[in-house]
Amino acid sequence: MANIELKNVTKSFGKKKALNDISLQVHDKEFFVLFGPAGAGKTTILKTIAGIELPEKGLVKFDGEIVNLVEPAQRNVSMVFENYALYPHITAYDNIASPMRSPLYKKDEDYIKDRVMKVAALMKIDHLMDRLPARMSNGQRQRVALGRCLVREPKVFLMDEPLAHLDAKLRHFMRAELKEMQANFNTTTIYVTHDYMEALSLGDRIAVINNGQIEQLGTGDEMYYTPVNEFVARLFGEPEINIIDAEFVLDGGNKGVRLLNQIKSFDIPEDVYDALVATGKTQFHIGLRAIDLSYSFERQTEHDIHGQVYSIEPIGNKAVLNVDVNDSILRTVSPPDLNAEMDSDIFVSINMKNAMFFDAESHELVVRHNQAQYTKAVK
């Protein structure tokens, strides 16, 4: 149970800046997710909080107290490492028991046995307790590592991709389990992942990290509906968001945008129009989630965009339908059993109400319809 704060933390490895002026605050009992591409600096943030890496500049605070000079052992944090970091020479049981046998967090053996077996049952690894890490699969090692982390009652759990090496079924199960545990444990958790579904389903709040900086910090809904820039927009959602060039049309009473070389312009909502006018620019990028595009094989309205079927990728309960419109590819979703010839004609209609408008130069969000509904303040 702790409130954790990073203030202007900067850290470099050689010439590469791993963290660049990171400030964030994790509330007590919060499930906080650090999300971003590989090499963004997520792990470094965790290690800085754990005290394994020391920041060059900036402060790390636990419950308002500066802990920059507190030894990792004394910080009372529990961490899952991405490469498991199991002790190779002792069994899974001893690995999980290790934190409770250290001089700092010493417990008696009966208590240890009880705790370890409970955690092992939870992780479904109770049959592996006598094995050395070398004789386990990666998924099993990862669960032992997670067990060693959860067996304690620390101020904060730090988890570095703890589910990355599990098979899909187990991953979904463990995800639900973690969510449940978090609610019961009343412990702050900081969780690193590069899987947007984990981020959205687990995180009370999410910080999107890129190049050692925080791109956006907020709830999952904020990330999904009002990403601050195209980078964040692309990270969330499967298939990836469509981002297309759009030209703002100002002639006469025509309030709309033109895109994809279509003759007809698309009407846009009033609030969006006002915001676009306010920028004084005419070139934008428009972000459209796949579900905001619908398709049909016959022209329904004059606004439908004519294209050709480019490819269909079934992904289980749906398929990603790629449509070629004047050499740009639009991604939309279809039922997995969609029967369509390659290169056959197809018509796409756009739900402009859900479109996000980004500045063409800075790639930052300008506006979306009913923005206030999704967020209190755009950061």
Partner 1 sequence: MFSENQSLLSRLIQNLLLIIYSIFALFPLFWMALITFKSDLQMFNTTFFFTPTLENYKAVLIGTDYIKTFIDNVIVSGGAVLVSVLAGVPAAYALARFNFKYKEDLAFTILSFKFAPEILVILPLFMIYQKLHLYDTYLGLIWVYQLITMPLLIWVVRGYFEDISVEVEQAAELDGYPWYSVFWKILLPLIKPGLVASALLAFIFAWNSFTFSLQLSGFNIQTVTVASLRYIASDTVHYGQMAVAATIAALPEVILALLIQKHLVRGLSFGAVKG
Alpha carbon 112 to its chain's center: 35
Burial class (CB in 10 A: 0-12, 13-18, 19+), 28: middle
134 scored as a contact of partner 1 (CB under 8 A): yes
Distance (Å, rounded) from C-alpha 346 to C-alpha 163? 40
Show contacts with partner 1 in window 293-352 (CB under 8 A).
none
Alpha-carbon separation of residue 219 from 77, 197, 202, 204, 279 (angstroms):
24, 13, 11, 6, 27
Residue 357 CB: number of other CB atoms within 10 A? Answer: 22
Tell which one of 36, 55, 99, 212 touches partner 1 (CB under 8 A): 99
146: left (phi over 0), alpha (psi -120 to 50) or beta: alpha
Task: For partner 1, give the closer residue by CB, 71 or 110.
Answer: 71
Q: Which stretch binds partner 1 (CB under 8 A): 61-69, 72-80, 187-195, 337-345?
A: 72-80
Is the separation of the CB atoms in 329 and 322 below 8 Å? yes
Is the separation of the CB atoms in 347 and 300 below 8 Å? yes
132 scored as a contact of partner 1 (CB under 8 A): yes
Task: For partner 1, give the closer residue by CB, 149 or 348.
Answer: 149
| Total of residues contacting partner 1 (CB under 8 A) | 29
Is the separation of the CB atoms in 24 and 36 below 8 Å? no
Query: Binding pattern to partner 1, positions 137-176, x when CB under 8 A?
Result: -x--x------x----------------------------
98 scored as a contact of partner 1 (CB under 8 A): yes
47 scored as a contact of partner 1 (CB under 8 A): yes
Distance (Å, rounded) from C-alpha 153 to C-alpha 86? 19
Task: For partner 1, give the closer residue by CB, 35 or 84.
Answer: 84
Task: For partner 1, give the closer residue by CB, 189 or 332.
Answer: 189
From the CB of 30, what's the least distance to partner 1, in Å? 20
Please report, as ranges, the residues that interact with partner 1 according to CB under 8 A.
47, 50, 52, 71-73, 77-79, 81, 83-89, 98-99, 102-105, 132-134, 138, 141, 148
